[in-house]
């Protein structure tokens, strides 16, 4: 593990960690993984020599000012040859980018085209990333650096621990499961395309109902598994939330090889200093909060109102319970509430929200797409944030909302159960059903009418800390434990 080359910090070994991801807010974001990949490595710099590895998407190449080529990967199976570049973010965080224009220089998002269709060669695109990451970690690409530990994220990087194992490397590895529902399933023919040993295609290996599962490969071969909340770590060992992998996850959990570490949010989520708001404000400055509400109402074309505003900042997918909001929208509006939504996702849900807006344009505002400044103003202006997710590994919106004085109304699952204190900083409801959700909404209306209670809850919510330093400390301890084995 190249111990002789490790730097020392305050008497402790300063581990070299390769953090492999497919999104990073600095350059490209599709979901919460981008926020985590931007914030967690930065928080870990106090504990480790941590470097991020990303595919060389067009957006990333255009934003990095200087990329130094440090290594080359020969073609492997049906995966093309590529180069490895090293660069840095504006604040000096080292970033490796895998340069292969035929795989990554494309329109659309990291996973699919501009119409939302997955790229048909995603198996090759992300296996190429994983294979190169394993080579880099083993010291075979950058002659000046090798890893003591590798930290892979989600299915796209899940083959990293597998390639390490198939190449006989003894490096410890962590796989973080940000959302078990996305597994990277491909036909058996992918084995040949990406150089996976045929001998690994069985029920205790990479096979999942006669398909190749990238995620399962990581669950099998990684030294340790983490998820993004302790509650979700327990939930995925059950049939309800285990997506067919609960048996394997129970085995890893029983062996103390599955840990839940709650995500954090970065320090920019402070309404007293956030530059994107219509007006900055702190706890108790409800005039400042109202200024943001007025701005949002005007921006979304809503009527002037003294009633509560309910915000939704989310991917518009079935998991997030958007259909539950649609089913309850008329009751919310008839009771004097307004709803503002921003996000993108499944076309049918996008269209249903647009139709709801057309039906009630004075009370339901919808913008399809995502804009960070707009999202911040919605959190700042809204009284409540709707999060009726069917499952939620961690969730970030409920943390953002609380910091900005918008009380979240969330299903009691995953990270929502851990970060919302029911009746104190928000409202939890027990079932992902219309009736249970409306129970939470009605409690919010009652609180809105009781000004003292509303103010007290807002103050409690805005006083919460969701610092990344807590998560980073937990990851650092896990890194040191695994590297010492």
Residue 268 confidence (pLDDT): 87
221/300 same-domain check: no
Asked if 190 and 328 sit in the same domain, the reply is no
d(CA 340, CA 160): 41
- The list of the chain residues with pLDDT below 50 reads 1-11
pLDDT of residue 4: 37
Look at residue 364 and tell me if it is in a domain.
yes
Q: Containing domain of residue 373, as a range?
A: 286-465
Judge if 327 and 187 occupy the same domain: no
269 falls within a domain = no
Q: Which distant-in-sequence residues (6+ apart) come within 8 Å of 111 by Cβ?
A: 22, 30, 118, 119, 122, 156
With beta carbons less than 8 A apart as the criterion, state whether 291 and 325 touch: no
Q: Do both 215 and 310 map to the same domain?
A: no
Contact by Cβ (8 Å): 208, 183? yes
Count of CA atoms in the C-beta half-sphere (13 A) of 117: 4
10 and 116 co-located in one domain: yes
Neighbours of 276 (CB within 10 A): 14
Q: Is residue 278 part of a domain?
A: no
Q: Answer yes or no: do 370 and 339 share one domain.
A: yes
pLDDT for 13 equals 59
Residue 244 lies in a domain: yes
Give the per-residue pLDDT at 485. 58
> Measuring CA to CA, which residue among 147, 154, 156 is closest to residue 128?
156
Give a yes or no: residue 180 inside a domain.
Answer: yes
CATH number, domain with residue 83? 3.40.50.2000
Euclidean distance between CA atoms 37 and 18, whole angstroms: 12
Do 250 and 291 fall into the same domain?
no
Asked whether residue 116 falls in the same domain as residue 256, the answer is: yes
The predicted model scores a pTM of 0.91
Answer yes or no: is 227 within a domain.
yes
Residues 13 and 160 in one domain: yes
Strand order in the sheet with 338-343: 364-368, 338-343, 309-313, 384-387, 407-411, 427-429
Instruction: Determine contact, residues 281/379, Cβ cutoff 8 Å.
Output: no
Domains in the chain: how many in total? 2
Residues 221, 196: Cα–Cα separation, whole Å? 13
pLDDT tens, 268-327? 899 999 999 999 999 999 999 999 999 999 999 999 999 999 999 999 999 999 999 999
pLDDT above 70 covers a percentage of the chain that reads: 97
Tell me the Ramachandran region of residue 429: left when phi exceeds 0, alpha when psi lies from -120 to 50, beta otherwise: beta
Residues 209 and 357 in one domain: no
Same domain, 231 and 360: no
Largest CA distance in the chain: 68
Task: Look at residue 271 and tell me if it is in a domain.
Answer: no
Q: What is the pLDDT of residue 6?
A: 46
Q: Is residue 335 part of a domain?
A: yes
Same domain, 217 and 319: no
């Amino acid at each position: 593990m190249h111990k002789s080359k490790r730097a020392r910090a305050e008497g402790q070994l300063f581990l070299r960690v390769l953090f492999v991801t497919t999104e990073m807010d600095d350059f490209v974001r599709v979901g919460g993984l981008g926020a985590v990949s931007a914030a967690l490595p930065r928080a870990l710099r106090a504990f480790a020599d941590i470097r991020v590895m990303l595919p060389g998407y067009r957006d990333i190449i255009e934003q990095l000012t200087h990329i130094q080529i440090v290594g080359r990967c020969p073609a492997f199976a049906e995966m093309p040859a590529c180069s490895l570049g090293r660069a840095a973010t504006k604040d000096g965080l080292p970033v490796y980018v895998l340069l292969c224009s035929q795989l990554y220089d494309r329109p659309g998002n990291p996973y699919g085209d501009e119409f939302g269709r997955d790229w048909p060669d995603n198996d090759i695109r992300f296996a190429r990333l994983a294979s190169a990451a394993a080579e880099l970690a083993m010291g075979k690409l950058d002659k000046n650096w090798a890893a003591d530990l590798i930290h892979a994220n989600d299915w796209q990087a899940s083959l990293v621990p597998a390639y390490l194992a198939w190449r006989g490397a003894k490096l410890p590895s962590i796989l973080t499961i940000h959302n078990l529902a996305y597994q990277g399933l491909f036909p058996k023919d992918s084995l040949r395309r990406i150089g996976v040993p045929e001998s690994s295609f069985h029920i205790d290996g990479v096979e999942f109902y006669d398909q190749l599962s990238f995620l399962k490969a990581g669950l099998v071969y990684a030294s340790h598994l983490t998820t993004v909340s302790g509650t979700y770590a327990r939930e995925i060992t059950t049939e309800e939330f285990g997506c067919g992998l609960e048996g394997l996850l129970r085995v890893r959990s029983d062996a103390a090889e599955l840990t839940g570490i709650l995500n954090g949010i970065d320090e920019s989520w402070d309404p007293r200093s956030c530059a994107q708001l219509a007006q900055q404000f702190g706890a108790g400055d409800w005039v400042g909060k109202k200024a943001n509400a007025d701005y949002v109402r005007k921006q979304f074309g809503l009527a002037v109102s003294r009633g509560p505003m309910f915000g939704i900042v989310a991917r518009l997918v079935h998991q997030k319970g958007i259909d539950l909001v649609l089913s309850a929208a008329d009751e919310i509006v008839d009771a004097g509430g307004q709803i503002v939504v921003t996000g993108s996702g499944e076309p049918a849900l996008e269209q249903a929200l647009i139709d709801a807006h057309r039906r009630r344009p004075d009370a339901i505002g919808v913008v399809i797409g995502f804009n960070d400044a707009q999202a911040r103003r919605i959190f700042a202006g809204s009284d409540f944030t709707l999060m009726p997710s069917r499952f939620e590994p961690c969730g970030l919106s409920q943390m953002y909302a609380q910091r900005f004085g918008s009380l979240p109304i969330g299903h009691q699952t995953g990270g929502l159960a851990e970060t919302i204190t029911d009746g104190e900083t928000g409202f939890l409801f027990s079932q992902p059903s219309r009736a249970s959700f409306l129970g939470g909404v009605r409690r919010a209306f009652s609180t809105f009418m009781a000004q003292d209670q509303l103010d007290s809850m807002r103050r409690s919510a805005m006083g919460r800390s969701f610092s990344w330093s807590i998560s980073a400390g937990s990851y650092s301890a896990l890194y040191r434990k695994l590297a010492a084995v």
